[in-house]
Structure 1
């Protein structure tokens, strides 16, 4: 009886390489989606803290700066020939205006008292969308631009904690055709290699962005806020209370110096009248 020989069809080398690259890209997609989530969450958390700081502490500082500016201007009136005093009054006036500008827009906006804390469902939705939509996974520049615009909508919905909007965006993306130019294993392999390179570059850029954010004064404030929160304290409220004390002291100084000015001006008026 003759032995039967079975031929095992072997994949061409380019198809083997393509499968390897697909697997590599799949792992990178997960990593990229997670890192984008971490970066976006940190950005939103810091922006939320910035707004809370301006609303709770910043408005107090603006008030204090305004009072200090009034004091400096009165001192300048008392000694009009003193250039240093005039410069200090100008500096105080500029600082007061900058503080007022920084807090003015915040005061007019709607404000959520609760800090940004995304739910696990919200974060999972974001990861799913980032894996599918991320611009660095686009097959060409036209698709990349389209994905970039779509990802902006995703980020906006995430920052607003709008799960319904994220689900709607996910459904919209999954039901739209994504054009792919070029056919065959070779073209697909080139596209995936380029995607892998872009993803690597983006992951490195994200790491740098996160490092830069963690070196910022706002992040240092966040760490202090988190530490005091663990102690059942509210650092921003404590800072505002401390500034309230400074405001009271500044008001007292303003009142005192205003009285001195009035007294000085009355004295000068009497002297002028006596010389007539």
Structure 2
């Protein structure tokens, strides 16, 4: 249990202050470079943890963006096509120059109407509808499209590898180059969610050359190191901000624990909008 100042032993006040003064004097003799070196190490570790967080979020955004495009892209394309057809039907009825202009504008931004194969992605093959497509048409549960999502073990391996092999821990250009190349392989494996390769990389790093221990340098070099670390953090902050402010990043922030459910909700909303547009178009062409 933590003690308050009032709980201190009264005998402490009677003890000679020589010991405390000696300890204070010893602490006061610490070289400024030693304090700077500790600050550098703390800043390095903080930067590495921050970079891990940014890279993890980048992979999540990339994977979610891929899934978003795969599942919802054809729906957005169909909505655009229906909007163009509605505008064209309205312009054909009224002949109004403004309606004609709007119809041309709507058509200019529309891609071709997605075909059945695009709407079903890989749910249709040479033998006809896949089981997933059949389930979709009969309102049965549908297996979602394949998605790359690193397992918890893969995330653990990734974080450990980055902490140990990060290029910022190198003390010379040769070591930095080696670490840069290794971390590039680590990032690629993590982006694929390849836990087996991450394990192999962990074994490879364990068997590799031992990085030299950091050696205290002069104050000006330590200050330069701190300045570089600060600049690197600013760059990463900008990257993180861009990711968070992107459309996909904003969607992930809305449902960080269950992004798949968010996609399902958006899909339902889009299907409702498609039905409304189809009804509107049907009324115009009657």
Q: TM-score, normalised by structure 1?
A: 0.64
* Counterpart-to-counterpart distance in 1, 2:76 and 2:200: 42
Query: 1:186 Cα shift?
Result: 8.2
Alignment of 1:149-188 (within 5 A): 149-177=181-209
1:204 is matched with 234
Query: 1:244 Cα shift?
Result: 1.4
Task: Please tell me whether the aligned partners of residues 139 and 195 of structure 1 are also in contact (alpha carbons under 8 angstroms).
Answer: no
The alignment's C-alpha RMSD in Å is 4.0
State the SS of the aligned residue for 2:146. coil
CA displacement 1:39-72 (0-9 Å, x = unmatched): 1111122222223332333321211111222222
Question: Which of the two has greater helix per residue?
Answer: 1
C-alpha spacing 1:205/1:234, structure 2 compared with 1 (3 Å): same
Query: 1:17 Cα shift?
Result: 6.5
Task: Please tell me whether the aligned partners of residues 151 and 195 of structure 2 are also in contact (alpha carbons under 8 angstroms).
Answer: no
- Which residues of structure 1 form unaligned runs of 5+? 1-15, 260-276
State the SS of the aligned residue for 1:33. helix
Query: 1:35 Cα shift?
Result: 1.0
* Counterpart-to-counterpart distance in 2, 1:197 and 1:63: 52
State the SS of the aligned residue for 1:255. helix
Indicate whether 1:33 and 2:65 are aligned: no
C-alpha spacing 1:136/1:191, structure 2 compared with 1 (3 Å): farther
Task: Please tell me whether the aligned partners of residues 25 and 192 of structure 1 are also in contact (alpha carbons under 8 angstroms).
Answer: yes
* Counterpart-to-counterpart distance in 1, 2:177 and 2:236: 19
Query: 1:34 Cα shift?
Result: 1.5
Moved more, 37-46 or 166-175: 166-175
* Counterpart-to-counterpart distance in 1, 2:113 and 2:220: 53
State the SS of the aligned residue for 1:97. coil
2:75 is matched with 60
Q: TM-score, normalised by structure 2?
A: 0.63
2:103 is matched with 89
Task: Please tell me whether the aligned partners of residues 33 and 217 of structure 2 are also in contact (alpha carbons under 8 angstroms).
Answer: no
CA displacement 1:54-95 (0-9 Å, x = unmatched): 233332121111122222234444556x44333322332233
Alignment of 1:1-276 (within 5 A): 22-78=37-93, 82-97=96-111, 107=121, 111-112=145-146, 116=149, 118-119=151-152, 121-141=153-173, 143-177=175-209, 195-226=225-256, 229=258, 234-259=261-286
2:21 is matched with none
